[in-house]
Amino acid sequence: MSDMTRPLRRYWTAGRPIERTAYLVGAVLMLWGAAHAVVFLLDDRPWAGPLSWRKPTTFGLSFGLTLISTAWVATTLPLAERTRRRLLGALTVACVVEVALVSLQAWRHVPSHFNMETPLNTVISQTLAAGGFALVTIYGTLTAVSFRANPAVSRSTRLAVRVGLVLLMAALGIGAAMIVRGVTAVYAGNPHLAYTTAGALKPAHAITLHAILVLPALVWLLSGTRWRESVRHRIVTVAATCYLVASFAVLLAVIR
């Protein structure tokens, strides 16, 4: 096990300042999400619904994990140093803003998304939506870079990263569709419908979002074996194919 954890420790000790910052902020966001899970247990709010503690909990955990995973994955991409700093810096800020605003609205006992009831709520809702589109730009760039030739990285790693980023882009597309559907319902005068119609896409959003963690983590697990790279690549190919099929099946199930 020490042989497998040594590369993870090296990501921190030998990591660039922006990468260590992303790891640290991601860990704080995960702790923030876990803290809100405790708040949920102590409070009487239901888990479901726009006023629950679920959103700051899941946003903290998901954004924290995704930020850490992305900073880790970015070490395998052929990025110019200035571009790396800008992309990871922007991503870190976006993650903090998204989690902070969702948490603020939870403590204010008002919905965070599709809430146009007051000028402040409108600004917060629009900022959250803008943050989502900023993430599309950041991850779109990372996805494009992942398809550049990079012989310094193993084929299994390149495959895991590419599929993980493509699925993450799909998750962001689903998130954008959720926003559009919700905002359309709000402006049509039916805010309740906004939460039910947008929320129906959450399972597809969730499974595609975390491929960027699952598939590279598989590569890390395989790095602890004595198997040849050709064997590792076949295993990752099968895993990536299964993940793609599962994601497509979940998407079909929620849009029917």
Helix H or strand E encompassing 163: helix 155-187
**Residue 219 — φ and ψ, nearest 5°?**
-60, -40
pLDDT for position 1: 46
Determine the Cα–Cα distance for residues 60 and 45; give it in Å rounded to an integer. 18
Determine the Cα–Cα distance for residues 122 and 139; give it in Å rounded to an integer. 26
pLDDT for position 145: 96
pLDDT for position 212: 93
Q: Are 67 and 95 a contacting pair, CB within 8 Å?
A: yes
* Secondary structure (DSSP) of 22-69: HHHHHHHHHHHHHHHHHHHHHS---SSSTTSSHHHHHHHHHHHHHHHH
pLDDT for position 2: 46
Per-10-residue mean pLDDT of the chain, 256 residues long, equals: 60 84 97 96 84 91 95 94 96 96 93 84 89 92 95 94 96 84 70 62 88 94 91 97 95 81
The tally of CA atoms less than 13 A away on the side-chain side of residue 213 is 14
Determine the Cα–Cα distance for residues 29 and 67; give it in Å rounded to an integer. 9
* Secondary structure (DSSP) of 238-256: HHHHHHHHHHHHHHHHHH-
**Residue 148 — φ and ψ, nearest 5°?**
-75, 150
Residues 6+ apart with CB under 8 A from 111: 50, 51, 105, 121, 191, 195
The 3 state secondary structure assigned to 82-150 is HHHHHHHHHHHHHHHHHHHHHHHHHHCCCCCCCCCCCHHHHHHHHHHHHHHHHHHHHHHHHHHHHCCCC
Q: Are 34 and 81 a contacting pair, CB within 8 Å?
A: no
Determine the Cα–Cα distance for residues 238 and 243; give it in Å rounded to an integer. 9
The DSSP letter of residue 225 is S
pLDDT for position 113: 78
pTM, rounded to two decimals: 0.88
Reference 210, options 84, 8, 73; nearest CA is 73
